[in-house]
Structure 1
Amino acid sequence: MTVVRGLREALVLFVIAVLVVAAAVALWVVVAGGDYTSRLGVALIVVGALFGVTGDLTLSRIGMLDARSAFGVPPEREEAGGGRVLTGVGIFLFVGLPLILAGVLLIT
């Protein structure tokens, strides 16, 4: 059951990312002109890479580590994901990597 929830979460994240990127690229093309497909491919690659790097909360946890240790509070636990099922690796594999591959296919 957890696998289905994780795949559903990945699908929702993927669809939302594609819709937001498509709208942003449409605005980009309206303002600056140019080819929609190649710009969509580049934007998907960039967003996929950002999902791969920032898919989990590691960067925000590193930023708060000094403040938490100054007050004697232990580091945040990985399980405190706010109801998320996918880990950072899962977000990279099931959201970021497909976005990058779709972007590469649109550019070529």
Structure 2
Amino acid sequence: MSTVIRGLREALVLFLVAVVAIGAMVGIWVAVSGGDFTHRLGVAFMLVGAVIGMTGDLTLSRIGMLDARSAFGLAPEREDAGGGRVLTGVGIFLFVSVPLIALGVLLVA
């Protein structure tokens, strides 16, 4: 199977998991405190999309480990060691974060 197809499938799964999780959390939020579901859903989509866009790959965790790895004489972690993932941070940003933010903007407007 092509790497492109696997990457797009991974992006679709990540997007759908995010949509279901956000919908459930906003549903609980509205049930507890009341308010407009659609507006809160849009804001939550934008916030989660931004967070996923900033932390979609392992860069932040790798930066924190640079000093510890160098103290033990170890090389920095490899960029392609994604744990079986196909998408890179750029792919997660483009195919998961941007659609979540766009959907959030459409719901809020």
The TM-score, its normalising length taken from structure 1, stands at 0.99
CA distance in 2, matches of 1:72, 1:28: 48
CA distance in 1, matches of 2:62, 2:52: 16
1:79 deviation in Å?
1.2
1:27 deviation in Å?
0.6
Corresponding residue number in structure 2 for 1:44: 45
Corresponding residue number in structure 1 for 2:22: 21
SS in 1 for 2:82: coil
1:14 deviation in Å?
0.0
1:32 deviation in Å?
1.0
CA distance in 2, matches of 1:87, 1:70: 28
CA distance in 1, matches of 2:57, 2:40: 27
The answer for unaligned runs of 5 or more in structure 1 is none
The TM-score, its normalising length taken from structure 2, stands at 0.98
Q: In structure 2, what residue type is equivalent to 1:104? A: V
Corresponding residue number in structure 1 for 2:105: 104
Corresponding residue number in structure 1 for 2:57: 56
SS in 2 for 1:75: coil
| Percent identity of equivalent pairs | 72
Corresponding residue number in structure 1 for 2:33: 32
Superposed CA offset, 1:85-106 (max 9, x none) = 1100000000000000000000
Q: Give the alignment's Cα RMSD to 1 decimal.
A: 0.5
Q: Is the aligned partner of 1:79 residue 2:80?
A: yes
1:66 deviation in Å?
0.8
Displacement over 3 Å in runs of 4+: none
Superposed CA offset, 1:10-58 (max 9, x none) = 0000000000000000010011110000000000000000111001100
Q: In structure 2, what residue type is equivalent to 1:9? A: E
1:72 deviation in Å?
0.7
Alignment size in residue pairs: 108
Corresponding residue number in structure 2 for 1:88: 89
